[in-house]
Each structure stands twice: as structure tokens, then as C-alpha cells.
Amino acid sequence: MMTKKEKVIEITRMLEEFYPETPVPLDHKDPYTLLVAVLLSAQCTDARVNTVTPSLFQLADNPYDMVEQSVEDIRAIIKPCGLSPRKSKAIWGLSEILIKQHNGEVPASFEDLEALPGVGHKTASVVMAQAFGVPAFPVDTHIHRLAYRWGLSNGKNVDQTEKDLKRLFPKGIWNKLHLQIIFFGREYCPARSHNPLECPICSKFGRKSLMPKTDS
């Protein structure tokens, strides 16, 4: 029987074979536009976010221009992404804080990022990894699900799963690996209508139960 260490090595090899290149899925030009795009991606597909952000960033692609807009104007543009009342307030609010506290720049700090409106640990992790190259392992519900399916974690929530994955995989590959897992999940290991026998990784390492238990 394969040990967990051997499984980790094999999964890493397979993901590298499938996805040697990992372009950032959200269109952006700098840390600020990435931060806004990641915030918009909550409960929304990256593809939809990428159809909305050109109009938003044409209006305002920096915090100084963003605070000149009304929350309602921001909301009208981002409405297709869902949760627009909350997201529009967060975008305006974080822009104001960046101006007042960070000279209009996105801070390269987990603590400072997570203090911004609408920015949780996962969003901060994406920004730290993709904008600043700091090793991070952003775990959303999709990665949480795949980590369980592949027998890499029994975590009941994304925080526990993140700790498990960070312990299993070398720090130097975290930033690329989390994108590889996302791309693989979309193509081969979707949340619904998933046939484990047709999935290259689940067919080798998958559990009988495909859904992790969650905290109530």
C-alpha cells in the first residue's frame, strides 16, 4: 500500500505533468486590481469576474479613482458577480483604507490584508501568492473537497485542510500547486456529476466517499 508521502510525490508529479504552466485565472495588472478581482470571485466564477472587471477598471483601476465613485455605481457594474451590495461596499471601503493607511498601495502583509473589508484569509493568501510571490496555500471549498477526495486531509473546514496541505507539500511549490489543483478540479474532478473512475487522480487514490464532513 502506498504511503501518504509516496502519494503526495505521485500527485505532485501528475499535476505538474497535466499543468506545467499555471497562468493566474483572474485578469489584473497590479496588486490592487488583483485584490478587487479576487474579492469579486467569492461565490462567482473567474470567467464571469473577467467579463465584469474591464468595465469596473475602466471606471477606476486604483483606490484614488475608486473612492470617487459611489457605492451604487460600483454595485451596478459588479452586479453579475453576485453579492453586489456587500462587495461594492467592501471595494469602496478597502480603497479608502488603502489611501488613508497604506499610501494607496496594497500591503504585502497577511495581517494588513485581512484587516481590509471583505478580505478573508483565502483572499489575502491569493494576493500574497500571486501579487507578491510569498508562499501561501489558498484553500477554497473546491481545494478542500479535492484534498479530501484524494485522501490528503480529513479537515472539517478549509483552515484545517490548509494546515494539512502545507504540512504535506514543500513550501516552494505551494503557489503553483494550488493553481494546479484548481485547474485539475475544473477539468477532471468537478463538484457535481463526477465519475471517480474517469478522474486520473481519484481513480488511483480516491475515497469511497467524495464529500468531506464539515463543521456544523
For residue 52, pLDDT beyond 70: yes
Tell whether the torsion through CA atoms of 159, 4, 129 and 53 is positive or negative: negative
* Mean pLDDT estimate for the chain: 95
Residues 6+ apart with CB under 8 A from 176: 22
Cell of 20: 506545467
CA 195 distance to own-chain centroid: 24
CATH topology assigned to domain 4-22+138-205: Endonuclease Iii, domain 2 (1.10.1670)
* pLDDT value at 209 more than 80: no
CA pair distance 43, 57, nearest whole angstrom: 20
pLDDT at 216: 38
pLDDT in tens, 78-87: 999 999 999 9
Q: Annotated catalytic, 156?
A: no
The 3-state secondary structure of 160-208 reads: HHHHHHHHHCCHHHHHHHHHHHHHHHHHHCCCCCCCHHHCCCHHHHCCC
- Region of 117 (left: φ > 0; alpha: ψ -120 to 50; beta: rest) is beta
Which cell goes with 5?
508521502
SS3 85: helix
Q: Is the sign of the CA dihedral 113, 119, 121, 123 positive or negative?
A: negative
Whether 125 and 137 have beta carbons less than 8 Å apart is answered as yes
pTM of the model: 0.92
Check: CB of residue 66 under 8 Å from CB of residue 90.
no
Choice among 89, 100, 112, 140 that is catalytic: 140
Q: Domain 31-132 in CATH: superfamily?
A: Hypothetical protein; domain 2 (1.10.340.30)
pLDDT given at position 37? 98
* pLDDT at 215 > cutoff 80: no
Under 8 Å CB-to-CB from 24, ≥6 apart: which residues?
A: 34, 130, 179
pLDDT value of residue 3: 87
Q: Per residue in 1-33, pLDDT tens? A: 788 899 999 999 999 999 999 999 999 999 999
What confidence tier does 123 reach under pLDDT thresholds 50, 70, 90? Answer: very high
Residue 213 has pLDDT above 70, yes or no: no
Which of the two residues, 212 and 30, has the higher pLDDT score? 30
Domain boundaries, the chain: 4-22+138-205, 31-132
> pLDDT-based confidence at 212, cuts 50/70/90?
low
Q: Are 189 and 199 in contact (CB under 8 A)?
A: yes
Model confidence over 136-180: pLDDT tens digits?
999 999 999 999 999 999 999 999 999 999 999 999 999 999 999
Closest C-alpha among 136, 105, 142 to residue 123? 136
Query: Once rounded to an integer, what is the mean pLDDT over residues 93-118?
Result: 98
pLDDT at 198 over 50: yes
Q: Which of 122, 156, 159, 164 is catalytic?
A: 122
Looking at residue 206, its pLDDT comes to 83
Place of cell 516552494: 172
Angle between helices 174-188 and 4-18 (to 10 degrees): 70
Task: State yes or no: is 79 an active-site residue.
Answer: no
